[in-house]
Structure 1
Amino acid sequence: MNRLELRDVSVAVAVEDAPEKVILESVDVALGEARIAVIGANGSGKSTLLRLLNGLIAPTTGSVTVGGLDTVRDGRAVRQRVGFVFTDPLSQLVMPTGREDVELSLRRHHRDRSARAAAAQAVLERFGLAALADQSVYELSGGERQLMALAAVLAVEPEVLVLDEPSTLLDLRNRELLRRTLAGLPQQVILTTHDLELALDADRVLVVEDGRIAFDGDPAEAVGFYRALCAAAPVPVGTGQGRTTAGSR
């Protein structure tokens, strides 16, 4: 299994007429477990953390390596090892049908068209998607699209699978289907999620808060820590909480 390492990593972006905005700061962690979940509030930096893992984002300071390969210097080799699945599958499915998308993923592995078509069919059958392969991706349900995007990424057999909030657009049935699918994969899986049940399936959970790793460890303890963190957060002005009604004055 590839060992992913982030060493003293920070990510900052330029902001017009203002100091640069720090998104991640002083992240120093090695990721070796088979199943790792990353949880945290919107804007905490968790999606940025995932995008570092296959070079979609470069660190401003520090280094990110996958099996000793630097994500900046060896970006192409890293992306061959680390597959990335986005939250919205329609941002990833670029061809009219799922079959064409899977074949597109396989174009470098199978130059011969008939061999590529056979390999794509095998992938689609593996994920139970063969009957849907020739439908427009816009005719598929959210769960079917997510599985099709997953199949297109896994077609090239990456060693690590990274998913950014994969269950966000799914109903309960498709979320459970996704959980079973991920559980059966041989790849190392690293994902961000707001679904705390999905996080509890992991071997290890990181809690990201304000651009830093606030907790790193046992899934149940991590979820408990995150719940306490959320409970302690200040209530936004205008929510109506804490107001007295006219009848109680």
Structure 2
Amino acid sequence: MRPNVQSGPGIHVQDMSHNIGPRRILDRISLQLDAPRIGVIGRNGSGKSTLARLLAGLIEPSQGRVLIEGVDVCKDRRAAISTVGILFQNPEHQIIFPTVLEEICFGLRQLGRNKADARDAALATLTGFGKAHWLDASTETLSQGQKHLLCMMAVMAMRPRWLILDEPFAGLDIPTRMQLTRHLENCGVNLVHISHDPRDLAGYAQICWLDRGQIRAKGDADVLSAFETEMIHEGARDDLADLAG
């Protein structure tokens, strides 16, 4: 029997688990989230990237459902791509076309736009970000930070209500992080920002601590403080010196 997932505004996850082969990555997660800025914090290997893909509807949970704004993001892909978008940690895993125009138009065409309308919408998006001169640029000529921004623009062109961020600042220098942060703050959509770094989530209204595939705590900035305290304590240990048996 399907879980009794409440539909309506926000993100609703109930009794969701996900396995990869015999290994359980996420275990019976239930969440109701409706803040405009939501942070998910956790160590590497805690299941954060898997959660990001489940929230975006890119993979189907082994158990349970994810509804965002009442849309089952796995079952109804047409509705999902206009409801939720995702930015990966590595833009090379997201960009698939040789030009900026083609990259932005792809999602718009998936929504049913004709070629001319998709081009107009792509140009309007680029203009809104002050990047109209990128229209015919080759994606291979873009810097890493520019590729991140292109991915953001391609998602935003589809006008989603939610944007999932899977550690988008990893490996970026300080100026690029600052510039992308400004774009995100002004993008006008609700954010779920997934990170291992508490600094990325400062000021977020709701925080979820993901630990070993389960939600360990949910709350406000106090959750970030508790996570950081435990990480400092863990860092003081010398478990890296232990050899595997």
What is the TM-score with the length of structure 1 in the denominator?
0.86
Aligned position for 1:188: 190
> Which of the numbers 214, 234, 239 marks the counterpart of 1:236?
239
Partner of 1:101: 103
Partner residue in 2 for 1:8: 15
Q: Is the 8 A contact 1:142 1:169 kept in 2?
A: no
Q: How far 1:169 moved relative to its partner?
A: 3.0
CA deviation string 1:198-232 (max 9, x = no partner): 2113211111111111121113x122111122133
The alignment covers a number of residue pairs equal to: 232
Q: 1:215 aligns with which of 201, 213, 217?
A: 217
Q: CA deviation at 1:112?
A: 4.2
Q: Kindly state the Cα deviation for residue 50 of structure 1 after the two structures are TM-superposed.
A: 1.6
Distance 1:76 1:181, change over 3 A: same
1:17: which partner in 2? none
Q: How does 1:160-171 map to 2 (within 5 A)?
A: 160-171=162-173
The answer for the alignment partner of 1:247 in structure 2 is none
Distance 2:134 2:115 in 1: 24
Write the mapping of 1:71-150 to structure 2, written as runs, cut at 5 A: 71-107=73-109, 108-113=111-116, 115-150=117-152
**Segments of 4+ in structure 1 off by > 6 A?**
none
CA contact under 8 A between 2:58 and 2:74: conserved in structure 1?
no
Q: Which 10-residue stretch deviates more, 128-137 or 55-64?
A: 128-137
Q: Does 1:39 align with 2:41?
A: yes
Distance of 1:21 and 1:71 partners within structure 2: 24
Cα deviation, 1:124-179, whole Å, max 9, x if unaligned, reads: 11112223333322221111110111000110101111111111132111101111
In structure 2, the residue matched to 1:201 is 203
CA contact (8 A) 2:69 2:83 kept: no
Moved more, 118-127 or 131-140: 131-140
Give yes or no for contact 1:85–1:163 (8 Å, CA) kept in 2: yes
Matching residue's letter, 1:92: Q
CA drift at 1:31: 1.3
CA contact (8 A) 2:81 2:158 kept: no
Contact 2:95 2:103 in 1 (8 A): yes
Mapping for residues 43-54 of structure 1, pairs under 5 Å: 43-54=45-56
User: Match for 1:3: what amino acid?
Assistant: G
> Deviations along 1:56-111, whole A, 9 cap, x unmatched?
12221222212223234334322331111111112211111212211222224431
103-112 or 56-65: bigger deviation: 103-112
Question: Counterparts of 2:167 and 2:80 in 1: how far apart (Å)?
Answer: 21
User: 2:17 corresponds to which letter in structure 1?
Assistant: S
In 2 relative to 1, CA 209–152 (structure 1 residues): closer, same or farther, beyond 3 Å?
same
1:226–1:149: structure 2 CA closer, same or farther, 3 Å change rule? same
Structure 2 partner of 1:242: none
1:193 Cα deviation (Å)?
Answer: 1.7
Structure 1 residues not aligned, in runs of 5+: 15-19, 240-249
Q: Which amino acid aligns with 1:10?
A: S
TM-score by length of 2: 0.87
